[in-house]
Amino acid sequence: MASSAADPDRVKPSSCSNPSRKVRIVAKIRGFTDQETESLNGDSAPWISVRKPNEDGSAEKTTVSFGDQSTRNGYEVDYCYEQNEDNSVIFSREIQPLISRVFDGQNVGIIAFGATGSGKTYTIQGTEEKQGLAALAFAEVLTMAEDNQKSVAISLYEVFQDHVYDLLDPTRSEVQAFVKSIPEFHKLYFAGCNSRRATKQVPFEKQRRSHKGLIIHIICTQGCSSTKLLGKINLVDLAGYEDARRKSVESLNLFDSSRVNKSLYALLNVVNALNANENRVPYRESRLTRMLQDSLGGRNRALVLICLNPLSCQDTIYATSLASRSLQGVNRVFTNTTMKTKTSAKPMVTKGRLGIASATSKKPTSSRAQFSEKTSSCPAKGRKLFDKGNQFMTSEQAKAPSNIASAMQSRFLPDVGSATEPSLQESVQEPEDSVSDSFPATLPTDEESSLRNAPGDAKPTEEKDVHLCSENKHSEVAANVDRNQKTLTYLEEGDNMEKENKILLINKDESPPLSARLRDLTNNLKSLYAATPIQMKIANETDTSSRGLVVSTDIVEPKTPVTQHAITAKDKWEVTTDTSSHDLVVYTDIVEPKTPVTQNALTAKDKWEVANCQSGTFNARSSGFKHSLVHDYLRFLNSASKEELKGIRGIGEKRASYILELREESPEPFKNLDDLKDIGLSAKQIKGMMKNVAGELFS
Ligand SMILES: Nc1ncnc2c1ncn2[C@@H]1O[C@H](COP(=O)(O)OP(=O)(O)OP(=O)(O)O)[C@@H](O)[C@H]1O
């Protein structure tokens, strides 16, 4: 039951929230079901209390509180819709004003978040009697798109177990026959949402929890030019938030539950980062956030609807607490510590630091408080290492974000060069990748034909399968263009993702197995060791054609050779002597592993003096060795697969994931030892790691 401290009509939503906030967070108390009304039998003790700003200044913010918490400050939200305010009220106040942005090429995300059974589906999808936000938005878009300059398409997807499934099967007759009316939309939408494309892979269908999203694409032609603006509304019905441990007892599906929650935490981390105006937004933490990347951030606007169960529900308290914190945008909350305390049996809602309510049974420990401060002051790196959201990260998550908008733009707009999507460009706060979504976008006939026939389209209209490989990435998305079906179809991403997962795990082409990589690394270093001037003879070959020769000083320090061994062509060392300079040219990249001929030239002391090393100033007797070791070690970090990274002492699951993430941002994030500090290693740890490498090589 819910009670309100103020008349909802007295305060307009826009007046009680920060207009610069990128993600608005509003709550909605679900209405009672018939069964609940019956069982309540007139007993109306309110479980949810809503406090709204009012003119007398007695309350400045909108807060919701639960049960006997009503005397406390509660959880802050931008606004709270009451039980009696239906979807049309939310639509007219929250969503309608955003739709015009979509016609300007911006993207909008509408995300329903809350505990299981809190009314998310009812709000987004609606019922046959009561329209949900999706249908209301679609109707509005259709009305606004009436002139021929705009076209509308839809796609329906499901994010389940970190895979994205297309819910609109293009072979189905109703998908083929879609003509853009509301009843047609309803039919398609409900059928799509209830379809089970991934059934075969899901042993416990009844326990399936997934995120479902509808994307309404709007393509506008600007005047007489061929420039197209692509905007979209992404309406997401998230899987219900559930206490993973409690649920696992019931459903014996802890992993699944944790995975869903992990994606929810990842989403809230993104919202938090956006509202805090952090430089770096952690979109890559989950498939869900990558799906939503181009609807969140930049000029785009998003709305998170926290759906509240009107009857006592612990998960509703947790969900509200988490979402409310992401309003603040300052206090990094999704730490392991938080999650542990959160799931305690009897959580007590307390008021945390900075006035932020926290659903924990304990006061924040000093260490957690310190960590929160540390992370908020250092938003970009380090912090994510310890976030809950990273706990179940898989290698697949190192992939690029999905982006159907860019896929549509690059594939189907008439002139790739002139097509613009400002929202997309601005929203990307992490490096943009070119992997595209692969669920279908059902387009109307006129749009499809105009896109296909438009000048500049490089692909012939007869072409059935258009394979597009991004320049920078290795992903491939196939688009199936079928004139007769009147649909544009992206091949199902789920099919490819399996393969991609395997590729990423095995990494056959780009990264040999760990043993091979380590062997190479060791061999290279051994070769360098063997090739150091104190052990090898520099052949006195003269290359008369070569002038101005170069010494690769970071590999070999010119020293007087101690022992004289001839270097043959087989050694693949190209050592030349310039008669004028007597400098050496050493092409280290063609070094082949070679058993050192002389092993006794170096004493242990000569080999490595690492005892006093500082990070970034690794101190070895031979700077050649030092540099080559560091160089190869860093190169390994810059290129190894996740599994390989995990094989290195000091690098576990989280660090390996984080390294992959850094590599997505910059191809070579590790340029010197100091860069290892970015993955949370102390100078002492770096020293230890280098010692280990050195020890392994020369023990
Ligand atoms: N405003 C409302 N008025 C009446 N009944 C409602 C309202 N909102 C939701 N319900 C009912 O409450 C029940 C739960 O709603 P719904 O399925 O939308 O929850 P959910 O949050 O999507 O759950 P899940 O996480 O399991 O998907 C349904 O029977 C739905 O019809």
Asked if the model's pLDDT at residue 498 lies above 70, the reply is no
According to the model, what pLDDT value does residue 88 have? Answer: 95
Distance CA 315, CA 319 (A): 6
Assess whether pLDDT exceeds 70 at residue 478. no
Q: Once rounded to an integer, what is the mean pLDDT over residues 262-280?
A: 90
- Nearest CA to 154 out of 236, 239, 232, 237 is that of 232
**What local confidence, expressed as pLDDT, does residue 630 receive?**
78
Helix (H) or strand (E) run with residue 27 in it? strand 23-29
More confident residue, 499 or 223: 223
Residue nearest to atom 15 of ligand 1 (CA): 119
Residue 608, C-beta contacts closer than 8 angstroms, at least 6 positions apart: 620, 621, 625, 694, 698
Residue bearing the CA closest to ligand 1, atom 8 = 119
- Is the distance from CB of 350 to CB of 357 less than 8 angstroms? yes
Around ligand 1, the residues with Cβ closer than 6 Å are 30-31, 33, 114, 116-122, 240, 307
pLDDT band at 684 (very low <50, low <70, confident <90, very high): confident
In the reported structure, the alpha carbon of residue 118 is separated from the centroid of ligand 1 by a whole-number distance in angstroms of: 6
pLDDT in tens, 138-179: 999 988 887 667 788 888 998 887 788 888 877 777 677 778
The Cα 396–Cα 223 span in angstroms is 42
The larger pLDDT score, comparing residue 451 to residue 529, is at: 529
Q: Which atom in ligand 1 lies closest to the alpha carbon of residue 33? A: 5
Using CA positions, which residue lies closest to atom 10 of ligand 1?
A: 119
Say whether pLDDT at 390 is over 60. Answer: no
More reliable by pLDDT, 309 or 434 = 309
- From the CA of 124, give the closest atom in ligand 1: 18
Q: Which long-range contacts (CB under 8 A, 24 or more apart) does 451-457 make?
A: 451/412, 451/413, 451/414, 451/488, 452/412, 452/481, 452/483, 454/226, 454/413, 454/414, 454/415, 455/226, 455/414, 455/415, 456/226, 456/414, 456/415, 456/416, 456/417, 456/418, 457/414, 457/415
Residue with the bigger pLDDT between 671 and 249: it is 671
Domains and CATH numbers, the chain: 23-194+209-326 (3.40.850.10), 626-697 (1.10.150)
CA 119 to ligand 1 centroid distance, Å: 3
Higher-pLDDT residue of 222 and 434 is: 222
pLDDT band at 664 (very low <50, low <70, confident <90, very high): confident
**128 Cα–ligand 1 center, Å:** 13
pLDDT digits 0-9 by tens, 102-146: 988 899 999 999 999 999 999 999 988 889 999 999 999 988 887
User: Which value does ipTM take for this structure?
Assistant: 0.98
Look at residue 83 in the predicted model and tell me its pLDDT. Answer: 93
Q: Whose CA is nearest to atom 16 of ligand 1?
A: 119
Residue 316 alpha carbon to ligand 1 centre in Å: 13
> Which pLDDT value is given to residue 481?
26
Q: Atom 7 of ligand 1 has which residue's CA nearest to it?
A: 31
Q: How far is CA 579 from CA 335, 538, 574, in A?
A: 64, 14, 16
Ligand 1 atom closest to the Cα of residue 87 is 1
Token code pair at residue 643: 């599994």
**Minimum CA distance residue for ligand 1 atom 9:** 119
**Measured between alpha carbons, how far is 624 from 202 in angstroms, rounded to an integer?**
55
Atom 11 of ligand 1, residue of closest alpha carbon:
33
Q: DSSP code of 109?
A: E
Atom number, ligand 1, closest to the C-alpha of residue 125: 18
Cα–Cα distance for residue pair 163/498, rounded to 1 Å: 9
Residue ranges for the binding site?
Answer: 114-121
- What separation in Å is there between the alpha carbon of 179 and the centre of ligand 1? 29
CA of 123 to the centre of ligand 1 (A): 8
- Look at the block and give the residue holding tokens 């639960």: 66
Structure tokens at 562: 């101690």
pLDDT > 90 in the chain, percent: 17
Q: From ligand 1's centre to the CA of 136, what distance in Å?
A: 18
Residue 546 has pLDDT above 50, yes or no: no
What DSSP character marks residue 662? Answer: H
What integer pLDDT is reported at residue 227 of this predicted model?
Answer: 78
Nearest CA, atom 2, ligand 1: 31
Ligand 1 nearest-atom number relative to CA 237: 22
What angle (nearest 5°) sits at the alpha carbon of residue 204, between those of residues 198 and 205?
50
Binding residues for ATP: 114-121
Average pLDDT for residues 481-501, to the nearest whole number? 31
Q: Count of CB atoms within 10 A of residue 465's CB?
A: 9
Q: How far is the CA of 435 from the centre of ligand 1 (A)?
A: 35
Closest C-alpha residue for ligand 1 atom 14: 117
Ligand 1 centroid to Cα of residue 30, in Å, is: 7
**Looking at the predicted structure, is the pLDDT value of residue 275 above 80?**
yes
Grade residue 657 by pLDDT with cuts at 50, 70 and 90.
Answer: confident
On the question of pLDDT at 670 being above 50, the answer is yes
Q: Which atom from ligand 1 is nearest to the alpha carbon of 86? A: 1
**Cα(567)–Cα(539) distance, integer angstroms:** 6
Chain mean pLDDT for the chain: 61
Are the C-beta atoms of 685 and 652 separated by less than 8 Å? no
Q: Which amino acid is at 12?
A: K
Ligand 1 mean position to 347 CA, how many Å?
A: 25
Q: Which of 221-235, 576-590, 624-638 has the highest mean pLDDT?
A: 221-235
Cα separation, 419 vs 416, in Å, equals 5
Residue 645 has pLDDT above 80, yes or no: yes
| Rounded (to 5) percent helix, strand, coil in the chain | 40, 15, 40
Q: Report phi then psi at 206, rounded to 5.
A: -65, -30
Q: How far apart are CA 496 and CA 473, in angstroms?
A: 14
To test ligand 1's pocket by mutation, which of 121, 256, 308, 309 has the most ligand atoms within 8 angstroms of CB? 121
Ligand 1 atom closest to the CA of 240, numbered from 1: 25
647, pLDDT greater than 70: yes
Closest by Cα among 123, 146, 118 to 135: 123
Residue 467, Cβ density class (10 Å: 0-12 exposed, 13-18 middle, ≥19 buried): exposed
Give the mean pLDDT of 524-541. Answer: 38
Residue 83 Cα: closest atom of ligand 1: 1
**Cα 120 to ligand 1 centre (Å):** 6
CA of 500 to the centre of ligand 1 (A): 36
Q: How far apart are the first and last CA of the chain?
A: 71
Rounded to the nearest angstrom, the distance between the alpha carbon of 1 and the centre of ligand 1 is 15
Instruction: Give 685: exposed, middle or buried? Use CB within 10 Å, 0-12, 13-18, 19+.
Output: middle
With 60 as the cut, is the pLDDT of residue 300 above it?
yes
* Confidence bin at 19 (pLDDT 50/70/90): low
Residue closest to 236 by CA, chosen among 112, 140, 323: 112
Instruction: Indicate which atom in ligand 1 lies nearest the CA of residue 122.
Output: 18
Kindly report each contact of residues 455-464 with a partner whose C-beta sits within 8 Å and lies 24 or more positions away, as own/partner: 455/226, 455/414, 455/415, 456/226, 456/414, 456/415, 456/416, 456/417, 456/418, 457/414, 457/415, 458/416, 459/411
Q: With 0-12 CB in 10 A as exposed, 13-18 as middle and 19+ as buried, what is 142?
A: middle
Distance of CA 185 to CAs 131, 175, 222, 444, Å? Answer: 11, 10, 26, 12
Name, in order, each residue with C-beta under 8 angstroms of 173's C-beta and a sequence gap of 6 or more: none
To test the ligand 1 pocket, which listed residue (28, 29, 32, 33) has its Cβ within 8 A of the most ligand atoms? 33
- Which atom of ligand 1 sits closest to the CA of residue 239? 25
Can you spell out the DSSP letters for 393-426?
--GGGGSPPP-HHHHHHHHHSS-TTT-B-HHHHH
Whether 477 has a pLDDT exceeding 50, the answer reads no
Q: What pLDDT score was predicted for residue 312?
A: 86
